[in-house]
C-alpha cells in the first residue's frame, strides 16, 4: 500500500485556509481569548472545561505555532525547580502560581496524554523531544473541550462597551473581511495586543533572553567558537549577576543560554568578566601552558588571545579574567521572550482580572512577567493561562 504523499507548503496552506473558511465561529461567546499561543490555548481550555463557550482569536493560520520554536524545537515546557524568586516580579508570580504550580502543569499534560522527561538543571521536555507533541496535545484537548479556534484573524482593537468586550479585527484569509466578536469576559494572552482601553496601562515591549552586544576586536577572530565560562556582570564595580555555561562568540556579540539569562539584567556600559577556564586556577593552568595554550583552550581562541596579548602567559591571564564592555542587547527581534506589557499593579494576583475593568483578564506575555531560560517562561504561560481562563469562565457565568 502506498503511503499518502506529504503536502507541499502551498498545499498545506490551502488546506488550512479552507479549514478556516469552513469554521463556524460564534460572534457572542462567553469568553474571548486574544492570542492562541501557549497561554492563550491554556486559557481557552481552562475556560471551556469550566463550561464556558470560548473563542480563541489568533493571527497565525494555526494556534500554537510559537510553541514549535521553543527549546530549539524540543519545547522545554517547564522546570522541576520552579521558583517565583527567579522572575522579575516574584511576589506577583508567587501569588498567581500558588503552592501546586508544578503539580498543576504536570497533571494537565499527563491527562492530555503527554509523557514528560527531565534533563539537566531540572529542564522538562516531552518524551518525543518534539515541540510539535506539546502543541498537538494542547490543540486536541482544546477541540475536545469545544474551544473554537478562530485563526487567521488580526486583532485591531479590544473595547469595553457596556457589560461586554468587543474584539474587532480583520481576517487574513479570503477577502480580508472585518469581524467583530463580543463577550462578557475576555482574556488577553498576546504580547503585542494593542487595546483601546485607556485605563489599562502598558509598558513598552522589548526583547530579553537574547545576545549581548559587545565591544572587542578579538571577537572577530573567534566568530562562531564556543567555550565554557563563568561570567560575572558588573555595574560600577558592583556585581549584578553571575552565570556559568557555554558562551557562543560572535563578531560583535556573545550568545548562549548563560548570556540570555544575563540579558534580563544587563545594561549598556556594564562590564562582563569571562573566566574561560572555570575549573582551573591560574597556577594550575600554568602547569600545562609552558609551550602552548591550545591544550587547555580552543586553539582558535587561544591563538587569538596570544596574538592580542603577545605571549602565552599574558593570554592565559586574559583567559582567566577577560573584561568586555557591554553595548546593550542585540537581536531583540528574535528574543525568546518579551519584557513589558500590562502593568501588574493594575491586575489582581488572585484572579488575573483587571482592577478597573471587570471581566478583563490577562495571561502569559501580555503581562510584564519574565523568567530565565530553562522552561520558566512556558511554566508561567501555562499556569497564568489556567488561572485567567478559569476565572474568566466564572465571571461569564454570573
Helix H, strand E, coil C: the string for 233-259 is EEECCEEEEEEEEEEEEECCEEECHHH
Q: What is the pLDDT of residue 1?
A: 46
Q: What is the pLDDT of residue 212?
A: 98
> How many Cβ atoms are within 10 Å of 65's Cβ, its own excluded?
15
Enumerate the β-bridge partners of residue 118.
Answer: 124
Q: What is the pLDDT of residue 141?
A: 98
Q: What is the pLDDT of residue 205?
A: 86
The grid coordinates listed for 314 are 599574558
Classified by CATH at the fold level, domain 26-206+336-396 comes out as: FAD/NAD(P)-binding domain (3.50.50)
User: b or e along 7-21 (b: 16 or more beta carbons within 10 Å of the residue's beta carbon)?
Assistant: eeeeeeeeebbeebe
pLDDT, tens digit only, all 398 positions of the chain:
455 566 777 777 777 777 777 788 999 999 999 999 999 999 999 999 999 999 999 999 999 999 998 988 999 999 999 999 999 999 999 999 999 999 999 999 999 999 999 999 999 999 999 999 999 999 999 999 999 999 999 898 899 999 999 999 998 876 678 999 999 999 999 876 655 566 788 888 888 999 999 999 999 999 999 999 999 999 999 999 999 999 999 999 999 999 999 999 999 999 999 999 999 999 999 999 989 999 999 999 999 999 999 999 999 999 999 999 999 999 998 899 989 999 999 999 999 999 999 999 999 999 999 999 999 999 999 999 999 999 999 999 99
Q: What is the pLDDT of residue 195?
A: 58
Q: What is the DSSP string of 141-171?
A: HHHHTT-EEE-SEEEEEEEEETTEEEEEEEE
**How far apart (Å, rounded) are the C-alpha atoms in residues 181 and 166?**
6
Q: What is the pLDDT of residue 198?
A: 63
Please name which of 152, 118, 149 lies closest in space to residue 135, comparing C-alpha atoms.
Answer: 149
| Domain boundaries defined on the chain | 26-206+336-396, 212-332
Q: What is the pLDDT of residue 350?
A: 97
**How far apart (Å, rounded) are the C-alpha atoms in residues 142 and 43?**
10
**How far apart (Å, rounded) are the C-alpha atoms in residues 15 and 84?**
42
Enumerate the β-bridge partners of residue 324.
Answer: 272
Q: What is the pLDDT of residue 314?
A: 97
**How far apart (Å, rounded) are the C-alpha atoms in residues 29 and 280?**
63
Q: What is the pLDDT of residue 184?
A: 98
Q: What is the pLDDT of residue 165?
A: 96
Q: What is the pLDDT of residue 11?
A: 79
Amino acid at each position: 500500500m502506498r503511503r499518502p504523499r506529504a503536502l507541499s507548503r502551498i498545499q498545506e496552506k490551502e488546506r488550512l485556509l479552507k479549514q478556516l473558511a469552513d469554521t463556524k465561529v460564534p460572534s457572542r461567546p462567553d469568553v474571548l481569548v486574544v492570542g492562541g499561543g501557549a497561554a492563550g490555548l491554556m486559557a481557552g481550555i481552562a475556560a471551556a472545561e469550566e463550561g464556558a463557550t470560548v473563542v480563541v482569536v489568533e493571527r497565525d493560520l494555526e494556534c500554537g505555532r510559537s510553541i514549535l520554536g521553543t527549546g530549539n524545537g524540543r519545547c522545554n515546557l517547564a522546570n522541576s525547580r520552579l521558583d517565583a524568586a527567579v522572575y522579575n516580579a516574584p511576589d506577583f508570580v508567587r501569588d498567581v502560581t500558588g503552592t501546586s504550580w508544578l503539580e498543576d502543569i504536570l497533571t494537565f499534560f499527563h491527562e492530555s496524554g503527554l509523557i514528560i522527561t527531565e534533563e539537566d538543571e531540572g529542564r522538562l521536555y516531552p518524551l518525543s523531544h518534539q515541540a510539535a507533541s506539546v502543541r498537538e496535545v494542547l490543540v486536541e484537548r482544546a477541540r475536545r473541550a469545544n474551544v473554537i479556534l478562530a485563526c487567521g484573524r488580526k486583532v485591531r482593537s479590544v473595547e469595553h462597551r457596556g457589560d461586554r468586550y468587543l474584539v474587532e479585527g480583520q481576517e487574513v484569509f479570503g477577502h480580508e473581511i472585518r469581524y467583530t466578536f463580543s463577550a462578557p469576559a475576555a482574556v488577553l494572552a498576546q504580547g503585542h495586543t494593542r487595546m483601546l482601553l485607556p485605563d489599562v496601562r502598558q509598558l513598552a515591549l522589548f526583547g530579553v533572553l537574547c545576545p549581548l552586544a559587545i565591544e572587542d576586536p578579538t571577537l572577530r577572530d573567534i566568530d562562531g567558537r564556543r567555550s565554557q565560562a563563568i561570567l560575572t556582570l558588573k555595574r560600577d564595580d558592583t556585581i549584578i549577576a553571575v552565570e556559568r555555561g557555554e558562551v557562543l562568540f560572535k563578531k560583535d556579540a556573545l550568545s548562549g543560554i548563560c548570556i540570555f539569562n544575563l540579558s534580563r539584567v544587563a545594561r549598556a556600559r556594564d562590564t562582563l568578566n569571562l573566566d574561560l577556564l572555570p575549573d582551573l586556577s591560574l597556577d594550575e593552568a600554568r602547569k600545562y601552558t609552558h609551550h602552548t595554550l591550545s591544550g587547555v583552550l580552543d586553539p582558535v581562541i587561544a591563538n587569538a588571545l596570544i596574538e592580542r596579548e603577545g605571549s602565552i602567559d599574558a593570554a592565559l591571564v586574559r583567559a582567566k579574567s577577560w573584561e568586555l564592555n557591554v553595548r546593550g542587547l542585540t537581536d531583540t527581534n528574535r528574543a525568546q521572550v518579551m519584557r513589558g506589557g500590562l502593568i501588574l499593579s493594575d491586575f489582581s494576583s488572585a484572579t488575573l482580572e483587571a482592577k478597573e475593568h471587570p471581566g478583563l483578564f490577562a495571561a502569559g506575555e501580555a503581562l510584564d512577567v519574565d523568567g530565565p531560560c530553562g522552561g520558566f517562561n512556558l511554566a508561567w504561560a501555562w499556569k497564568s493561562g489556567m488561572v485567567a481562563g478559569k476565572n474568566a469562565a466564572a465571571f461569564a457565568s454570573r
